[in-house]
Structure 1
Amino acid sequence: MTAVVAMLTYRRPEDLRVAVPAFLAATSRDGAGLLVVDNDPAGSARAWVEGLRDPRVRYVHEPRPGIAAGRNRALDECADADVLVFVDDDERPEPGWWEALTACHRATGATGVVGAVVSEFVAEPEPWVRAGRFFERRRLRTGTDVDVAATNNLLLDVAAVRRLGVRFDERFGLSGGSDTLFTRDLVRRGGRLVWCDEAVVVDRVPPDRTTPGWVLRRARRSGNSASRAELVLAADAAERARVRARYLARGGLRVAGGGVRVVLGALRRDPVLRLVGRRNAARGRGMVAGALGHVVVEYGRPPEQGDPAGAALPVGAGQDRAAPERTRR
């Protein structure tokens, strides 16, 4: 089996200097290659990556802005590989990650294998962060079929992906959600995604993410991406109308339910319950906005960063990091 680990990056040199050696060590037994896709128009990661002079590491520059463009570049660069594994440049693999991920693929023959992501705080956060469980992700039994996944720990069977004709939609490149659309489309076309709970990577959470503002912005964008992805996948006008109505209803219910929690939190003087309610309401508002055709931009880049003319979108929740679906999240 020929395998490539693809790591997208955008102006995160300190993370890259730790992540690259960590993933090279984790995959050393099988000799998997590591592809660094630099989404910075200035190509700021080139000197350091090429300076490694490691035959297993390859650098490519994708100047088109947006994480979807970077992901598609990785698919194109790894067309001759058997498997492609997407990871983020601020993650670290746990012992046994690679062995578990590839073993699950061999055992199931699935189009994609989804690994677990566990958050680790760079600095001890305020108590409300842990109490509200805002950074906890789902964990499932190994072998469970799933219909959607992020690309922060995802193995793909390259031949199967090419056969199904799935690509990352670059309209979602600066808004986020291209991985949601990609994996939903993959399953819709007959692909299979399987969970592997033993394949764990650790996501390091910096202090600037552990704020109520970040939690609320992420919730709104996630809701927006979910409804927009479903609209793109709708087969015809009638199905789009049904999707739009469903998300208007679901989003409205979330806004109402979140409002109830906010009131209860105020009455009980419970700031965590209030924030949970506000987060639920924010996700609902994002769903409604997406159903109505509005885009919540999370990764807009200011034009002065050097993106091609007309490519930058208004700055939303933060800067496009082009490696995970998040800001310096």
Structure 2
Amino acid sequence: MPKITAAVCSYNRAQRLPALIRALRAQPCAIDYEILIVENNCTDNTHEVLLGLQQEPGPALLMVNEPRQGISHARNRALEECLDSDYMLFMDDDELPCDRLIQTALDTFATTDALCVGGKVQVDFANLDRPGWLEDNLLGFLAQVDHDQHLFRIEHKKTPVWTANVAYDMRIFRDNPDLRFDIRYNRAGDGVGGGEDVLMFEALLKRGIATYYQPQMSVLHAVDAWKLKRGYFLRLHFVAGKKYGRYEIPELQGPVFGAPWFMVWHFFRHSLLALAMLAANKPGRIRQAMNAAHSLGSIWGKMTPQEKQ
């Protein structure tokens, strides 16, 4: 009988965990499964809440603490804890699973050549007012994934799946001990940024690991109110740009504080276009401002030394 573990990395979201764990325990599934919570140095009452939830009926609830702060460390700890499982399903601690999430993942593994299956992530605005400026093309930066109504094998980076809702055949990680979440793209505590799941997704594609999108595998993703601010989107892209400039741009030196001219040109071009679109109140203006923030961040990242990990 195959073994599957539903894994959640958590930091200071004690108030959300009861609903999430009870929803996971209510999942209909043809085989037994377990739930793993990776605590990442929580400073709230997460541990006490989990101890109480362990006493409730349903699939076993396991918990471990990862002392190294940040999502990359927590995800890698989850992988290590689940190496003896046949399958592992990642969710986030601000989500709720829709019906048959686990069973749908198992069915997809059984009926395709998939080694990785990602599903739909729906942003939940039930208790929030969606700002008028928040266009559909920005929802992906709140982790929304909604590619199609049909199952398909992913062949291109344009249709990503994220760790907000993804299941792995754990042979991927047993057979590839070097394949782990990149700690350079760590996001610690309440910080902004990350990118570790982007790099993992791209690494799977590059290695030819069969990755599928399954729309029937769905989660509902709650959004913190502070993320529904323009500043959040700009800061998110500035941080992403810093990491891009620091880790992805070749070792080129330039005349502007060490940044090559092309990076400076990109920043001014994106900035002027963003200002023009903002002045004209054109659709896409926030997305263009995000491009400018990313360009500025890449210059900043190029100027600053790499951080010790």
State the TM bucket, normalised to the shorter chain.
Answer: 0.7 to 0.9
Deviation at 1:254, TM superposition (A): 7.2
Residue type of the alignment partner of 2:278: G
Deviation at 1:225, TM superposition (A): 4.5
The one of 133, 147, 166 aligned to 1:128:
133
Is the CA contact (8 Å cut-off) linking 2:20 and 2:93 kept in structure 1?
yes
1:300 equivalent in structure 2: none
1:10 equivalent in structure 2: 11
- CA–CA distance in structure 2, aligned partners of residues 125 and 33 of structure 1: 35
1:94 equivalent in structure 2: 98
Match status 1:139 vs 2:143: no
1:150 equivalent in structure 2: 162
Q: Summarize the alignment of residues 1-329 of structure 1 with structure 2, pairs less than 5 Å apart.
A: 1-26=2-27, 28-40=29-41, 44-52=45-53, 53=55, 54=57, 56-121=60-125, 122-129=127-134, 131=135, 133-136=137-140, 137-141=144-148, 142-145=151-154, 146-147=156-157, 149-165=161-177, 166-174=179-187, 176-225=194-243, 230=248, 240=250, 253=266, 256-257=269-270, 259-266=272-279, 268=280, 270=281, 273-290=284-301
Q: TM-score, normalised by structure 1?
A: 0.74
- CA–CA distance in structure 1, aligned partners of residues 50 and 199 of structure 2: 30
Deviation at 1:115, TM superposition (A): 1.1
| Deviation by residue 1:14-55 (Cα, 9 ceiling, x = unmatched) | 111221111221255433211000002558422221222255
Deviation at 1:83, TM superposition (A): 0.5
Is the CA contact (8 Å cut-off) linking 1:113 and 1:194 kept in structure 2?
yes
Distance verdict in 2 for CA 1:294–1:29, change over 3 Å? farther
Unaligned runs of 5+ residues in structure 2 are: 188-192, 253-259
Is the CA contact (8 Å cut-off) linking 1:120 and 1:204 kept in structure 2?
yes
SS at match of 2:69: coil
Normalized per residue, the structure richer in helix is 1
| Deviation by residue 1:224-245 (Cα, 9 ceiling, x = unmatched) | 45566656xxxxxxxx469xxx
SS at match of 1:198: strand
Seq. identity, %? 25
Unaligned runs of 5+ residues in structure 1 are: 232-239, 298-309, 312-329
Figure out how many residues of one structure are paired with residues of the other and give that number.
Answer: 284
Is the CA contact (8 Å cut-off) linking 2:29 and 2:102 kept in structure 1?
no
